Amino acid sequence: MAEAPSSPMNPVAETPESHVNGMTTTLPPGSAIKTKTRPRKAPELQTVERRNWLIHLHYVRKEFDVCKQLIREQLEETRGMCEYANYVQGLILRQEGKIQESFELFQLCNILNPSSVENIKQMARALFLLGKHRLAVEAYLQAEMKLDKPDWELHHNLGVCYMHLKDHEGAREQLLYALEQNKHHQTFASLAKIYLLENDIPSAINTYRAAIEYFPENAELHTTLGLLFMQIGKYQQAFEHLGTTLTFDPTNTRAILAAGSMMQSHQDFDVALTKYRVAAQSIPESPPLWNNIAMCFFGKKKYVAAISCLKRANYLAPFDWKILYNLGLVHLTMQQYTSAFHFLSAAVNLRPTKGHIFMLLAIALTYLDDEENARQAYEQAVSLEARDPSVCLNYAIFLKNHDDKEGALRMINEFEVRMVKFRQSTGADLDAEVIENGAKLAMLLGVDGSAFHKKSSHTRLRADDEANQEPVQPANEPPCNSPPPNEDEEITANDNLPEASTILPLEHSIDPAETENLDNKMKESELLATSHMHLMDEEPVMPSGEFLEEGNKNKLEEDLF
Amino acid sequence: MDPLFLALSCFRRRKFDRCIKICTELLSKNPYDQAVWSLKTRALTEQVWVDECDGEEEGLADVLMDDNTIASVARPGTSLRTAPPSSAGGPSQTFRPSTQSGRPLSGVVRPGSQGGRPGTMDQALRTPRTAQTARPVSATSGRHVRLGTASMIQVGEGPFINLARLNVAKYAAQQNIAKALFEYIYFHENDVRHALDLAAQATQVLEFKDWWWKVQLGRCYYRLGLFRDAEKQFKSALKLQDNINTYLLLGRVYIRLDQPMAALEVYREGLDKFPGEVTLLTAMARIYEGLHDLPKAVKYYRDVLHYDATHVEAIACTATTHFYSDQPEVALRFYRRLLQMGIYNCEIFNNLGLCCFYAQQYDMTLTCFERALSLATDRSIADVWYNLGHVALGIGDINLAYQCFRLALVSDNDHGESYNNLGVLEYRRGNLETARAFFMTAANLSPHMFQPHYNHAKLAHKVGDLQTSFIIVQKALALFPEHVDSKELLKTLETHFHTL
């Protein structure tokens, strides 16, 4: 729409005059006929727009150098009065990243032609790109007033600006209005983002669904929808959408990670690893990727490889408590309790509100024979983690093993309560092993544990950590416990949810695994920044100084004689 | 006892001062005693002799006004000065930090391995010149300056040999003392021009059949910056006599001409003649390291260790490689070996501490760092604190980490990495403005790091300042073109700018 600048605004009278004057002087006096015809020709009158078409042509071909050259000539000729040249110059500068300069040019355009909405819109956009959202909103509103018919783009941009200003209500209104005018996938995406910011996942999902109806081949939309489905636990649908993404874009790393993590949760480690191999080509420095790969190895019982991968992930993302949590878990499995303790305590430091870490910490402390602290950690875990039954079970086992029968009874009851709630809320059952252990313990304590078995058809649902379960039997023998292979692996898949950082407070999610997905993501966004610093850290690994001398010490005596 | 015998004995026992004293006495009695005279020259030379074929640092002028390089725009992988090829093996820049020269961090500090080649005069004057040293501004390297000064500390009656009055032609003909005299002029007097004169005449006298003089001629040419002439002399010397030192010197010539491939070829020839020669292997490994071909470099370092199990540089470099490729346990073993060999300094304990930490030997970690701190010099203490900061991060103690980075800055306020990490910590605390300031400082202080640029760009993007973000992320990509996150950030920014 931009390429039709209106000429009336340009003060035509002045520009051509000089040329005319110049020519008159050079002309030989006496050619009366010519002097008559000359004013009629007045070709310079049109100069202002004369080469707009050429500028446009070069601009749309991205031939910016030629285009700039032309613009410069044009502006010299018209003394900066050519609106279109200024306009295109602004666009080119913006693409080169010089927003401030382009903003000034659009301002100039606006002065040249105050009636054009397009100019105001571009000004507003420049303001938006400069991060001055409030001013941008004002500019957009001004543009809107000048428009006679609604413009989806304008409303979309307004909505985005409102979103940046944290005015979700206004943003939603504008975006919905924009959608009425015209369906555009960006509008859908922005709208969904607002729903996510407001923690309204179902609405976000509906938005994406609507978007996919209009844009069935947009991989980005499918991926995001798939991730959202994963978040609410609808794995089947999630998988469908992620699969669609991968058909359209087989190297979409977000989709690969998400799909891989779902395969992992179905114990399909080899397939997941093949998927990750593809992803590793394009994102070799992604902490979530390495974490997931590690948990694949963990599932395949290749513990050393798992530790190695997790270490790398931790190196890349030192602030990610999930990686530390997994490291702790793997080390617990390897019966390296001190190492596990260190990783877990680091995880606790980074994320003091997560019950599961405390539970693992307690388990590590149990093995380190620090009964007092283990008890405290369990207390903390039970109070922080209000849903997961396995926490109570582990605590109960611990209490039982330390001859606190009463406490154990209390905990086993709590376990039962939580288990019932869990079944009601998710419709699925706990891991068979957890139930088994619960029943055993109940028997030992003399409670009726049969209730646990109610429907022990094991729908696989991960019960976090029963790392400690076995010791129920009085003899506290570590070797026999094989912790559940896969509980955390999913962790990362989602790292990619756009802007997830604020999506969900962790407590909201139902399934422990889910939560992890989520905030893992959030971590990601910060981490990126951080991870890098970690690398440096070893930088000083430099045996400096004296080595140098070593190198130079006189060694070649033969040189002398 | 015969004083001459005593002097010789002192010379052999490297008691040069005494030897010189006896010689001076003898010469005062009989100034024409050639044996004593020659012995005194040699003793004086030995005092200041250095091995030249290794570890030479180029001065600022050499680097900036360098017109010796063959190709100004070399193909990737054929020059020590170009950016790393993207497909280079080994860990990427994300895992292994790079030095200011843009090369991956090496295991040892060698001349030139830290400072590297500045691209512009501005950078050259600024970067390596930290609070501690203004060294790079000097044009000649420090060692040569030191050589020259030896002739200034004269005892008693003026210089031992007055070069200006020396009849070069006469001495060139006397082969028995000419070599000692040459060494004296070259090392003790540091008068390359006279040395060249002597060498040229001597080689003429011998009808160009003596390899030793040719090598010396080459060395003089090399010092004078006439690399092509030096190359000719070395090559012709090699035709007469295979000598490891000559190979090394020829290799250096090629390195100065920025022809690492030719240098490698020379070393390889040398290895054919002298299989398993450690110095040649080391030189090759260094070149591969400079070419960013770390797997090959490590291969050669391993070869070195095969022939010389106590080679410090090889051990340290192998250890570093293991450390950065996720094998801290193996690296730990190499560093322990260094410790067993008697190296006892801050760096070794620092490295041991880091390896222990990443290999989860927690009991040793802090002890090692305590040692490192107690042994640290002003230069290295910042790095130790910095690493301690990372250990603190590793155990999740953010406050301790913060303090450690601060302490690193106290001891070295040019420590860019610490600034960057402080920025990240501030970012986590939500102090975006402070974080931004830290990132900017870090980027200023260490122009070789891409991290502060990326972090700054990310921050700017988050607060909506897309223009700044765009400009800065491009800087990050210039430093590390393969960085995925930067590329993605740039892509989103571009789409922002392209939409109408």
| Interchain contact, A541 vs B320, CB within 8 Å | yes
Q: Is the pLDDT of residue A371 over 80?
A: yes
Torsion angle, CA of B289/B293/B296/B298, rounded to 10 degrees?
A: 50
Q: Which tens digit of pLDDT belongs to each residue from A378-421?
A: 988 888 887 778 888 888 888 888 888 888 888 888 888 888 88
pLDDT in tens, B447-473: 778 889 999 999 988 887 888 888 899
pLDDT at B53: 67
Q: Say if the Cβ atoms of A541 and B354 lie within 8 Å.
A: yes
CA–CA separation, A554 vs B112, rounded Å?
Answer: 19
Q: Do B497 and A541 touch (CB under 8 A)?
A: no
CB within 8 Å: A551 and B110: yes
Interface of A with B in 53-112 (CB under 8 A): 91, 94-95, 97-100
Per-residue confidence at B230, pLDDT binned at 50, 70, 90? Answer: very high
The amino acid that residue B347 corresponds to is E
Taking CA atoms, B250 is separated from B52, B65, B243, B272, in Å, by: 12, 22, 11, 15
- Report helix, strand or coil for B210: coil
pLDDT of residue B294: 85
Tell me the DSSP string of A343-357. Answer: HHHHHHHH-TT-HHH
pLDDT tens-place string over residues A155-182: 888 888 888 888 888 888 888 888 888 8
- At residue A498, the pLDDT reads 25
CATH code at position B381: 1.25.40.10
Q: Reduced to 3 states, what is the DSSP secondary structure of residue A404?
A: coil
Please determine, for residue B302, whether its predicted confidence score (pLDDT) is greater than 90. yes
List chain A residues with CB under 8 Å of B107: 541-543
As a whole-number percent, the residues of chain A with pLDDT over 70 amount to 70
Name residue B104's beta-bridge partners: B98
Could you say which of A349, A535, A545 has the minimum Cβ distance to residue B95? A535
Tell me whether residues A530 and B395 touch, CB distance under 8 A: no
* pLDDT single digits (tens) A488-535: 333 333 332 222 222 222 222 222 222 232 222 222 222 222 222 222
Higher pLDDT among residues B85 and A292, named by residue: A292
Question: Is A548 touching B (CB cutoff 8 A)?
Answer: yes
pLDDT in tens, B360-378: 888 889 899 999 999 988 7
Question: Could B467 and A542 be called an inter-chain contact, meaning their C-beta atoms sit closer than 8 Å?
Answer: no
Q: What is the pLDDT of residue B481?
A: 81
Average pLDDT over residues B425-443: 91
Structure tokens at B39: 């012995």
pLDDT of residue B14: 92
Indicate the range of A203-212, A250-259, B111-120 predicted with least confidence.
B111-120
Find how far residue A85's CA is from the centre of its chain: 39
Q: Which of the residues A283, A547, A550, A560 would you substitute to probe the B interface, choosing the one with the greatest number of B C-beta atoms within 10 Å?
A: A547
ipTM, 2 dp: 0.79
Phi, psi of B130 (to 5 degrees): -95, -170
A99 pLDDT band, cuts 50/70/90, is confident
C-beta of residue B213 within 8 angstroms of C-beta of residue B201: no
Among the partner-chain residues B95, B351, B484, the one whose CB lies closest to the CB of A543 is: B351
**Is pLDDT at B348 greater than 60 in this prediction?**
yes
| Interface probe, candidates A96, A153, A533, chain B, greatest B C-beta count within 10 A | A533
> Residue A368 half-sphere exposure, CB side, CA atoms within 13 Å?
19
Across the interface, of A122, A529, A551, the residue whose CB is closest to B313 is A551
For residue range B174-186, list pLDDT tens digits in order. Answer: 888 888 899 888 8
Alpha carbon distances (Å) from B103 to B109, B476, B481: 13, 16, 14
Distance from CA of B172 to the nearest CA of A (A): 16
Average pLDDT, chain B: 82
pLDDT value for A544? 26
Chain centre distance of CA B497: 45
Residue B411 belongs to a domain = yes
How many other CB atoms sit within 10 Å of the CB of residue B138?
12
Is there a contact between A2 and B338 if contact means CB atoms under 8 Å apart? no
Task: Give the bridge partners for B319, in sequence order.
Answer: none
The answer to whether A557 contacts chain B (CB < 8 Å) is no
Residue pair B427/B460 in contact (Cβ under 8 Å)? The answer is: no
Query: Which has more confidence, A477 or B246?
Result: B246
For residue A129, pLDDT over 90 is answered with no
Helix pair angle (B260-273, B244-256), 10° resolution = 170
Residues of A numbered 313-342 whose beta carbons fall under 8 angstroms of chain B's beta carbons: which are they? 314-316, 318-319, 324, 336, 338-339, 342
Q: How confident is the model at residue B437 (pLDDT cuts 50, 70, 90)?
A: very high
Q: Which residue of B has its CA nearest to A323?
A: B394
Spatial contact of A172 and A203, defined as CB atoms under 8 Å apart: no
In Å, how far is A29's CA from the nearest CA of chain B?
Answer: 53
Q: Which of B347, B424, B483 sits opposite A530 (nearest CB)?
A: B424
Segment among A165-174, A261-270, A294-303, B157-166 with least mean pLDDT: B157-166
Residue window 267-296, chain A: list those with CB within 8 Å of chain B: 282-286
Contacts of A213 (CB under 8 A, 6+ apart): none
DSSP structural state of residue B188: I
Each domain of chain A, given as residue ranges in start order, spans: 1-19+44-130
Average pLDDT, chain A: 71
Phi-psi map region of B39: left, alpha, beta (phi>0 left; psi -120 to 50 alpha): alpha
Residue B269 has pLDDT above 90, yes or no: yes
* pLDDT average, residue stretch B277-305: 90
Query: Which residues of chain B does A125 touch, with a Cβ-Cβ cutoff of 8 Å?
Result: 500
Q: What would you measure as the largest C-alpha separation in chain A, in angstroms?
A: 128
| d(C-alpha B499, C-alpha A13), whole Å | 36
B293 neighbors B76 (Cβ within 8 angstroms):
no
Residue A29 has a pLDDT of 44
Q: Do B466 and A532 count as a contact with CB atoms less than 8 A apart?
A: no
Q: pLDDT (tens digit, 9 = 90+) per residue, A230-260?
A: 888 788 888 888 888 888 888 888 888 888 8
Chain A nearest-CA residue for B493: A97
Residue B61 banded pLDDT, cuts 50, 70, 90: low
The verdict on a CB contact (< 8 Å) between A543 and B496 is: no
Q: Does A501 touch chain B (CB under 8 A)?
A: no
Tell me the shortest Cα–Cα distance from B71 to chain A, in angstroms.
29
Chain A nearest CA to B324, separation (Å):
8
Q: Do B107 and A542 touch (CB under 8 A)?
A: yes
Interval B14-41 mean pLDDT: 89
Asked if residue A422 has pLDDT above 60, the reply is yes
Among A residues 101-130, those touching chain B with beta carbons less than 8 Å apart: 122, 125, 128-130
Q: State residue A198's pLDDT score.
A: 86
The CA-based diameter of chain B, rounded to the nearest angstrom, is 99
Average pLDDT for residues B326-338, to the nearest whole number? 90
Residues whose CB falls within 8 Å of the CB of residue A459, separated by 6 or more in sequence, listed in order:
A428, A429
* CB nearest B464 (choices: A91, A164, A546): A164
Q: How far apart are CA B465 and CA B457, in angstroms?
A: 9
Q: What is the CATH number of domain A1-19+44-130?
A: 1.25.40.10
Residue A2 near chain B (CB below 8 Å) = yes
The distance of Cα B419 from the centroid of its chain, to the nearest Å, equals: 26
Q: Which residue of B has its CA nearest to A309?
A: B326
pLDDT at A273 over 70: yes
8 Å CB contact of A529 and B458: yes
Judged against a pLDDT cut of 50, whether residue A545 lies above it is answered with no
Helix (H, G, I), strand (E, B) or coil at A502: helix
With an 8 Å Cβ cutoff, are B97 and A535 in contact? yes
Q: For A271, what's the count of Cα atoms within 13 Å in the CB-facing half-sphere?
A: 11
Q: Which residue of A has its CA nearest to B428?
A: A526
Interface probe with B: pick from A164, A539, A558, most Cβ of B within 10 Å: A539
Identify all chain B residues contacting A543, using CB atoms and an 8 Å cutoff. Answer: 107-109, 312, 316, 338, 343, 345, 347-348, 351
Contact B94 A316 (CB under 8 A): yes
pLDDT at B408 over 80: yes
Structure tokens at A7: 């000429």
What are residue B98's DSSP bridge partners? B104
Would the CA dihedral through B164, B169, B171, B176 be positive or negative?
Answer: positive
Euclidean distance between CA atoms B249 and B252, whole angstroms:
5
Confidence of residue B79 (pLDDT cuts 50, 70, 90): confident
CA A101 to chain centre: 31
Selected residue with higher pLDDT from A283 and B213: B213
C-alpha to C-alpha distances, A218 to A138, A205, A283, A313, A494, nearest whole angstrom: 33, 15, 21, 31, 19
Residues of A in contact with B500 (CB under 8 A): 2, 91, 122, 125
DSSP string, B285-335: HHHHHHTT-HHHHHHHHHHHHHH-TT-HHHHHHHHHHHHHTT-HHHHHHHH
Give CA–CA dist A428/A297, Å, rounded: 27
How many domains does chain B fold into?
A: 2
pLDDT band, very low/low/confident/very high, at A2 (cuts 50, 70, 90): very low
Tell me whether residues A318 and B474 touch, CB distance under 8 A. Answer: no
Band the pLDDT of A44: cuts 50, 70, 90: low
Q: Tell whether A347 is within 8 A of chain B (Cβ).
A: yes
CA distance A131 to A133: 6
Whole-angstrom CA distances from B145 to B63, B164, B198 are 18, 20, 22
Judged by CB atoms closer than 8 Å, whether chains meet at B108 and A544 is answered as yes
> What does the angle CA B103 – CA B108 – CA B113 come to, to the nearest 5 degrees?
35
Subunit contact B387:A537, Cβ cutoff 8 A: yes
A259–chain B nearest CA distance, Å:
21
Pick the more confident residue, B292 or A448: B292
Q: What distance in Å separates the CA atoms of residue B30 and residue B175, rounded to the nearest whole number?
A: 21
Of the partner residues A533, A539, A541, the one whose CB lies closest to the CB of residue B424 = A533
Find out whether B360 and A336 touch, Cβ atoms under 8 Å.
yes
Q: What is the DSSP string of A134-159?
A: HHHHHHHHHHHHH-SS--HHHHHHHH
How is residue B41 written in tokens?
């020259």
On whether the CB atoms of residues A354 and A506 are closer than 8 A, the answer is: yes
Distance from CA of B127 to the nearest CA of A (A): 17
Could you report the per-residue pLDDT of A442-482, keeping only the tens digit for each? 887 776 655 555 443 333 333 333 333 333 322 222 222 33
Least CB-CB distance to B467: which of A97, A531, A556? A97
Query: B485 or A35, which is more confident?
Result: B485
CA–CA–CA angle B327, B329, B335 (5° rounding): 105
For residues B315 and A186, the model is more confident at B315
Between helices A287-299 and A269-282, what is the axis angle to 10°?
160
Concatenated DSSP letters of A341-392: HHHHHHHHHH-TT-HHHHHHHHHHHHHTT-HHHHHHHHHHHHHH--S-HHHH
Alpha helices in A232-370, H assignment, sequence order? 235-248, 253-265, 269-282, 287-299, 303-316, 321-333, 337-350, 355-367
Ordered alpha helix ranges (H), A463-552: 512-537, 546-552
- Lowest-pLDDT range of A13-27, A96-110, A543-557, B61-75: A543-557
Q: Report CA-CA distances (Å) from A545 to A239, A541, A548, A552, B372.
A: 57, 12, 6, 12, 14
Q: What is the pLDDT of residue B466?
A: 84
Q: Which of B38, B317, B380, B451 should we substitute to test contact with A (largest number of A Cβ atoms within 10 Å)? A: B451
A&B contacts, CB < 8 Å: 230
pLDDT over 90 percentage in chain A = 3
The domain in which residue B44 lies consists of 1-48
Separation of alpha carbons A491 and B299, rounded Å: 38
Average pLDDT over residues B118-141: 47
- In angstroms, the CA A409 to CA A388 distance is 17
Query: Within a 13 Å sphere around the CA of B79, how many CA atoms are in the beta-carbon half?
Result: 16
